[in-house]
Structure 1
């Protein structure tokens, strides 16, 4: 069958693992009569959005209705279900590196694994599966179904670090500009967007960490490798928590700077008001239109009034310094 006809079937990849790190491709029309050696395993990777995928799962996969319903479910979160006969359903999330997509809008991968067959479904392309296929082409891929699931989980997890580095770099730049330039005002929308991105990642990575720990306890595949993935996700979650705290510190620092600036401004306005209030009172009192104003008949009255105001200013400045207001 041609690649175009295989695409129409919803099958993205069909590989028979040879048990030595390599794999051979299988066409869609060969699945019904496919036979492989005891040391070999089968990996079927499907496009979940294709209508033929659901049809094949329900009619030709030998999976129960319950498993098919879960694999085709519209919305999922990271979870693990143990099924009879040492089978399991695994729902993972990976970084969305497709053009125009937000990385924190994580892509779901649904996996049904048994001793010698792995069925995986995705809605959007994943770099993790592309890297895995490249490993098979080099003869360095997983040797069996359990190793295949482990490698898929590893590839999905490994791409989180790049997004975390990007978030940390953006925060480093903001903190550096705040330290260097006192007049710099960070963009609150972009800062809050960093917090939303970290929260979106944490939403799926936290349950995924527990999932890896459960797989290690169940003894599925290499326990040490599952523990290592669990530890790696724990570190990523700690870094995401640090990102959230650093965002809070940046916003708090900016609020404190704005508050200090406002307080200094109000303080200067208070000092200026304190200086001019007595003078305003004095000039207002001398400016009333009634008889008996002192100095109204004196030709030096204006100069005397200016001298009095000047003396009042000097006295106020001395008093403010004495009170440590200046």
Structure 2
């Protein structure tokens, strides 16, 4: 946890490297012509919100958007060739559900990038590692492109996991084993796929917009990279839709199998009831407590009735087999 809300602060040297800053150094910072600034803040910290409104130089409208509680991925060009960009990424924090996606809000212009997050982001850690190794982004445009790239890359691992789970459940159906597919897991997979698609679809549209609309401070080949991210997200969305369809097919197949099993059991019970219904009628008729029942004084009448009932039952069974009903 930070005491001032500033998670990371770096001055990009324009060559792929960067040097770290603390909160006090921001007050007297002077950038050279080729340098640019990246400030990464904890959005929930009161001092972060105070700095953004009082010292960042952003207008009230931009600050309100950056500090909104709930946002979807969006792109908003601002005057003076500035940019607001809200992105979502897979939640890889311990104990979190991946589809409960983390959000990062970005303000960018030609010389600086201000990003806000509520929960930790693995993407920023990867960017910082690249900067410290001298292989990181050289400009604000490359910085936001790299951040979007890392966020998109993390989706691939989750898709592989969902696809493997779908394969396992389909194998249980195809093999016809006594073990049934995990209904709770299938519902969870469908929910995760729907949750991911909810945020990735508008994010793909954002990447498509950035492919078409280039700001003056963008690098010349940025459009190609944004287009590649757009294509990757399109493929991910198609795979998510395919996973949802596969889960639906597995659920339908399992429901059909359960219905067939239930119908078969009901059919068996119907046959058993059909065989014993006449016998029940006979026993009920002979069990009435009135005079005049035939054989009441015959010591062999009980065994004769039992034999007739056995013959009747065997005759019914033979008839059902003859009619192919059993």
Among 9, 17, 21, the residue aligned to 2:4: 9
Structure 1 length as normaliser, TM-score?
A: 0.90
Aligned residues: 321
1:213 pairs with 2:220: no
1:84 pairs with 2:79: yes
- Tell me which moved more, 104-113 or 280-289: 280-289
Q: Give structure 2 stretches of 5+ with no counterpart.
A: none
CA distance in 1, matches of 2:164, 2:187: 15
The residue correspondences of 1:1-326 to structure 2 (distance < 5 A) are 7-180=2-175, 182-220=177-215, 221=218, 222-290=222-290, 292-296=292-296, 300-326=300-326
Structure 2 length as normaliser, TM-score?
A: 0.90
- Tell me which moved more, 142-151 or 165-174: 165-174
Note if contact 2:49-2:67 (Cα within 8 Å) is conserved in structure 1.
yes
CA distance in 2, matches of 1:281, 1:58: 89
Instruction: Give the CA deviation at 1:70.
Output: 1.1
- Please give the per-residue CA displacement for 1:42-73, whole angstroms capped at 9, x wherever unaligned: 11111111211122222222211111111112
Note if contact 2:169-2:182 (Cα within 8 Å) is conserved in structure 1.
no
- Please give the per-residue CA displacement for 1:2-44, whole angstroms capped at 9, x wherever unaligned: xx9xx42222222121222111222322223322332222111
Aligned-residue RMSD, C-alpha? 2.1
CA distance in 2, matches of 1:297, 1:8: 103
- Please give the per-residue CA displacement for 1:223-273, whole angstroms capped at 9, x wherever unaligned: 111111111111111222222222222322222222112111111111011
- Tell me which moved more, 149-158 or 290-299: 290-299
- Tell me which moved more, 306-315 or 9-18: 306-315
Change in CA separation of 1:312 and 1:34 when aligned onto 2, cut-off 3 Å: same
CA distance in 2, matches of 1:310, 1:52: 91
Q: Give structure 1 stretches of 5+ with no counterpart.
A: none
Note if contact 2:18-2:131 (Cα within 8 Å) is conserved in structure 1.
yes
- Tell me which moved more, 201-210 or 299-308: 299-308
Change in CA separation of 1:300 and 1:89 when aligned onto 2, cut-off 3 Å: same
